[in-house]
Amino acid sequence: MIKYSNGLTYKKSNIKVSGNKVAFSLSSANRGMNLEEDIIQSNEYYLRHKMALIYKRPTPIQVVKVEYQKNVKITEAYFSEKSTTDFNGVYQGRYIDIEAKSTHSKSSFPLSNITKKQFEHLSNVIELGGLAFFIIEFVKHQKTYIVEARKIIEFKNSEERKSIPFAQFEELGREIKRGYSPRLNYLEFVDEIHRNS
């Protein structure tokens, strides 16, 4: 088993080499988790460089069964409630909240991917002066966008549509290019968005 310095375990992807082209694919079950892992790695970079303190919010669980042998081992547990958003913390003295979403749709982002509780939570964050964002990955386009939560909430409240067309993400937010470290440098866009708003 190989572990990165940040504690994450290396996972072999499905790599295909054909002539001078290299392609890789990930199982659809893991794609959303890879977006979260990229954000976690980016957040660790931000903390190391004293830029921001942003953590993955743990999902509350209810422990049902525990085995006591050499170590305590949880053998059965359930999610006790739905979590609000994926990440929260402090950036430039302000509270920040981020929800990460990954979609396989080529044409649009379904608003049904966002729960009522998440819309309410992010609305409260905005109302109380915090920063609120969505990081949305379009897997088939291999593009990731950061969008102010306010814009998606306004779109949901003003439009009768059930999804946001892919083409509209160029207007709504900013594309985040993947890099090495940080993997997703989304904070530069947080700064840019707030300079222009």
What is the pLDDT, as a whole number, of residue 184?
Answer: 94
What pLDDT score does 191 carry? 85
pLDDT score recorded for residue 63: 78
Q: Tell me which residue of 129, 182, 119 sits closest to 155, measured CA to CA.
A: 119
pTM over 0.95: no
DSSP assignment letter at 184: B
Average pLDDT of the chain to the nearest whole number: 81
Tokens 């990955």 sit at which residue?
137
Q: What ranges make up the beta strands (E) of the chain? A: 14-18, 21-25, 52-56, 61-68, 72-79, 87-91, 94-103, 108-110, 131-138, 143-148, 163-165, 173-175
Q: Is 70 exceeded by the pLDDT of residue 20?
A: no
* Domains assigned to the chain: 28-196 (3.40.1350.10)
**HSE-CB of 54 using CA atoms within 13 angstroms:** 30
Q: Quick: pLDDT tens for 74-131.
A: 777 776 666 688 999 999 999 999 999 999 999 999 999 999 999 999 999 999 999 9
